[in-house]
Amino acid sequence: MKCPGTDTRFLRVGVHKCPNCGYEVEIFSDEVRVKCPKCKKYVYREELPSCIDWCKYARQCIGEERWKELMDFKKRKKEE
């Protein structure tokens, strides 16, 4: 069983402007960053996928590697 936050049926796409070149990049609700197809820089979501923030199964759900990536991302955001 998958939780709704990462179920592809519930995925939503958000459009984010690349801070580097202004290109509009689509980021799915379960993704934190995507590479800008124009300038190849990473475009980050402003917010983390909500269910990962509060769901206690998030770690198992998205996997250890991705979990770490998200936590690093969160830490970096705080330090900014």
> Which parts of this chain interact with Zn ion (CB under 5 A)?
18, 20-21, 23, 36, 38-39
43 with 16: CB under 8 angstroms? yes
Which residue number, 38 or 77, has a Cβ lying nearer to Zn ion? 38
Which residue number, 18 or 58, has a Cβ lying nearer to Zn ion? 18
* Least distance (Å) between residue 12 CB and Zn ion: 22
* Least distance (Å) between residue 20 CB and Zn ion: 4
Element (H, E) at 64: helix 64-79
* Least distance (Å) between residue 54 CB and Zn ion: 31
Beta-bridge partner residues of 44: 33
Which residue number, 4 or 22, has a Cβ lying nearer to Zn ion? 22
Q: Where are the beta strands (DSSP E) in the chain?
A: 13-17, 24-28, 33-35, 42-44
How many CB atoms lie under 10 A from the CB of residue 19?
12
